């Protein structure tokens, strides 16, 4: 599989935010979101075996690991990597952009699925069948660029009753939407969702890779 980077950091997103975590960032992505902060993962990477990736993660003193990208489900070996890591007793997270099927993902892995808002430029690429495939412990994330994205996300959440089935995160696109604005909207609407800030960007504001 083509690996962009393997690193140890603080998990910055999801319900696991704040925990030390080993990360595997796979190369390649099928989307081009307007606010993407990992464009370097579109092409850059080196071929590694699943065994080598799993071994590299043993250097990190954390039970939590995340497979991310890019888009990890582009690579057919991702499922086997997730299973290998789960077999070793690790808590496995898979962050996916929601445009590829999550069917067949190892049931022991927690899927963190984006639902792309119009501001991303990629909302029409969403594979909506994925919503029905999510397990109760899987999580959903909306990255918002403006009030229009917020209203769009609110409609999806209510219509599909997502907040009754999963942890749902609303995240302001970093440097584009003010967190205080999003927080005010959520409080006004009494949303049963979580405000998500990318912790790693506040801890290491000038570091782009390896965090």
Tens digit of pLDDT for each residue in 49-78?
999 999 999 999 999 999 999 999 999 999
Domain range summary for the chain, segments of one domain joined by +: 2-203
What Å distances lie between residue 172 and 32, 98, 121, CA to CA? 18, 18, 15
Mean per-residue pLDDT, 132-159: 98
> CA 14 to CA 171: how far, in whole Å?
10
Distance CA(134)–CA(192), nearest Å, equals 19
Instruction: Check residue 76 and report its DSSP letter.
Output: T
* CATH of 2-203 given 3.90.800.10, 3.40.109.10, 1.50.10.10, 3.20.20.70: 3.20.20.70
Neighbours of 123 (CB within 10 A): 16
Question: Is 90 exceeded by the pLDDT of residue 207?
Answer: no
Q: Report H helices in 134-198.
A: 147-160, 179-189
Q: Pull the structure tokens for residue 46.
A: 């080196």
Asked if residue 44 has pLDDT above 90, the reply is: yes
CA 13 – CA 164 distance, rounded (Å): 20
- What's the pLDDT at 208? 81
Is the pLDDT score of 93 beyond 90? Answer: yes
pLDDT at 42: 95
- Taking residues 163-183, report their average pLDDT: 97
Find the mean pLDDT for residues 145-172.
97
CA angle 125, 127, 131 (to 5 degrees): 140
Which pLDDT band holds residue 132 (cuts at 50, 70, 90)? Answer: very high
Residue 189 pLDDT > 90 = yes
Q: Flag whether pLDDT at 87 surpasses 90.
A: yes
First-residue to last-residue Cα distance in the chain:
21
Distance separating alpha carbons of residues 40 and 70, to the nearest angstrom: 9
Query: Virtual CA dihedral for 172, 9, 94, 45, nearest 10 degrees?
Result: 100
Between CA 29 and CA 25 the distance in angstroms is 11
Distance CA 18, CA 141 (A): 17
């Amino acid at each position: 599989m083509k690996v962009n980077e393997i690193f140890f950091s603080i998990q910055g997103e999801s319900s696991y935010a704040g925990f030390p975590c080993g990360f595997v960032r796979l190369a390649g992505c099928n989307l081009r979101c307007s606010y993407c902060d990992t464009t370097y993962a579109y092409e850059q990477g080196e071929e590694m075996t699943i065994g080598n990736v799993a071994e590299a993660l043993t250097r990190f003193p954390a039970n939590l690991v995340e497979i991310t990208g890019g888009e990890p489900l582009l690579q057919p070996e991702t499922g086997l990597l997730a299973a290998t890591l789960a077999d070793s007793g690790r808590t496995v997270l898979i962050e996916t952009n929601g445009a590829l099927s999550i069917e067949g993902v190892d049931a022991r892995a927690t899927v963190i699925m984006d639902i792309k808002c119009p501001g991303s430029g990629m909302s029409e690429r969403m594979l909506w069948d994925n919503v029905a495939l999510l397990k109760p412990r899987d999580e959903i994330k909306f990255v918002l660029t403006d009030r229009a994205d917020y209203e769009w996300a609110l409609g999806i959440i209510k219509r599909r009753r997502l907040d009754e089935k999963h942890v749902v995160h609303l995240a302001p696109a970093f440097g584009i939407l003010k967190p205080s604005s999003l927080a005010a909207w959520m409080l006004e609407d009494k949303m049963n969702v979580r405000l998500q800030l990318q912790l790693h960007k506040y801890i290491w504001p000038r570091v782009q890779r390896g965090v």
